[in-house]
Structure 1
């Protein structure tokens, strides 16, 4: 699967102690980390150590990189890798980080044959040639609010997973070939429903940006899966189940468990 020496090096990195100062940053900046059970936290720490060793970060627009920036991004990116055999975003080489929203050339279809081309403000983007671009302000904002279904790191790294086969089409590499039929059926139907809901201006759980194309739908659905799991499962159960199987996580159960008050009086066995 992965190279022997690469895998051995990764095993060594995952076994190293996680610096206490780094853990404080993640606990402060990434509230989703606090929902994880202890085994998942340890797994995430190991993934972060590998991620930081293998990926190159670069500050843009005058931004000076810090451990806080790299750890806040890495922890959220690695959340998508829990419980799965992973090659750590094999196509990704560099993460470019701007201080805030940045301008980039873009082409946008406005419908009716009208196309808008020119500079556009961006919060983040994922390129197929090994680059993710992020706005630090929006990384912090997206991480801090874990109930709005908007998280630029989860969004862009979902794109990276989608693009691992070289195509951005909303269909990441699945474990079994037989899974693609159910995936296409569920996500295809939900994508078309979101397009219709947007056209009719209906209120939706999913951000209507997901109606742009199947790739954006998968990225938006990933954000919603981790940040609004109860609403997503209630309104879109088939979509939730597909994402649950793919990510091998159940954020709804984690959220409900976190909301349960601890027993005031611990139970003891009867005499």
Structure 2
């Protein structure tokens, strides 16, 4: 049985490795004005940006400008700082950086709370069960994202973990682009690749739930959360993911590197 599983995983690795990659177009920067001081702030705080070429960094900043032009960011009970806005914009751009002209059509507003919050969106220090760092809104919060400022900054300040709350939530928005958050990213994955994708996802979830994986436990709760958790890992520690989970790395590369 283990021999058959090994062969199946090898075939999945080859499947994604040999999938033709779509070429990304460079978006014109001529109409985008980027503040000069952004570059140093991003180099100091966003490792993904720091690793890009100069041309890619210019494109990254232009995409941030476009995101900030289209999205309202509101601070709840604290004064919003420039770094808050830049980290939110960077979080939005990272998952879709290789997508030409992507726009989050399902997002109008990001609400940023000073601390973690509970299911009732309460964040007072007297509130018990404040363990939520971010969520994609529904109902009266449709087209809204809610983020904890503390979680936002932690995601970028810790360079050695595999997590980033804001990137996690923007991956949920990508998943939701087809109208439903179900862990099957139709905006990222061509339909013919859905079956091998799901086969690999459920194998990895089983490993998580059997304590045989270094992927965060939350990824084992549903295929929806697996996509977001694995996506965090892909962007935060790509070399480690490629070494420990080569098939998963190839699958996510086929999703995010268009």
TM-score, normalised by the number of residues in structure 1: 0.75
Task: State the distance in 2 between where 1:90 and 1:151 align.
Answer: 22
Q: Give how far 1:14 is off.
A: 6.7
Q: Give how far 1:195 is off.
A: 2.1
- The question of 1:236 aligning with 2:254 is answered no
Task: Quote the residue 2:148 is aligned against.
Answer: 135
SS in 2 for 1:87: coil
Structure 1 ranges of 4+ moved more than 4 A: 11-14
* Cα-to-partner distance string for 1:55-95 (whole Å, 9 max, x where unaligned): 111111x1112222111110122011112134322101110
* Unaligned ranges ≥5, structure 2: 1-26, 122-127
Task: State the distance in 2 between where 1:240 and 1:27 align.
Answer: 25
Kept in 1, the 8 Å contact 2:208–2:214? The answer is no
Task: State the distance in 1 between where 2:30 and 2:134 align.
Answer: 28
Task: Quote the residue 2:132 is aligned against.
Answer: 122
Task: Quote the residue 1:101 is aligned against.
Answer: 116
RMSD of aligned residue pairs (Cα, Å): 2.2
Higher relative contact order (CA 8 A, sep 6+): 2
Aligned pair count?
222
Task: Quote the residue 1:31 is aligned against.
Answer: 47
Task: State the distance in 2 between where 1:65 and 1:126 align.
Answer: 20
Task: Quote the residue 2:202 is aligned against.
Answer: 188
Task: State the distance in 1 between where 2:89 and 2:119 align.
Answer: 24
Kept in 2, the 8 Å contact 1:14–1:45? The answer is no
Task: State the distance in 2 between where 1:167 and 1:27 align.
Answer: 35
SS in 1 for 2:191: coil
Q: Give how far 1:33 is off.
A: 1.2
Q: Give how far 1:154 is off.
A: 1.0
Question: Which residue of the other structure, out of 66, 79, 84, is the alignment partner of 1:50?
Answer: 66
Worse overlay, 122-131 or 46-55: 122-131
Question: Which residue of the other structure, out of 83, 86, 109, is the alignment partner of 1:68?
Answer: 83
Task: State the distance in 2 between where 1:79 and 1:193 align.
Answer: 27
SS in 2 for 1:103: coil
- The question of 1:85 aligning with 2:94 is answered no
- The question of 1:158 aligning with 2:167 is answered no
Kept in 1, the 8 Å contact 2:29–2:59? The answer is no
Q: Greater Rg, structure 1 or structure 2?
A: 1
Kept in 2, the 8 Å contact 1:29–1:140? The answer is no
Task: Quote the residue 1:266 is aligned against.
Answer: none
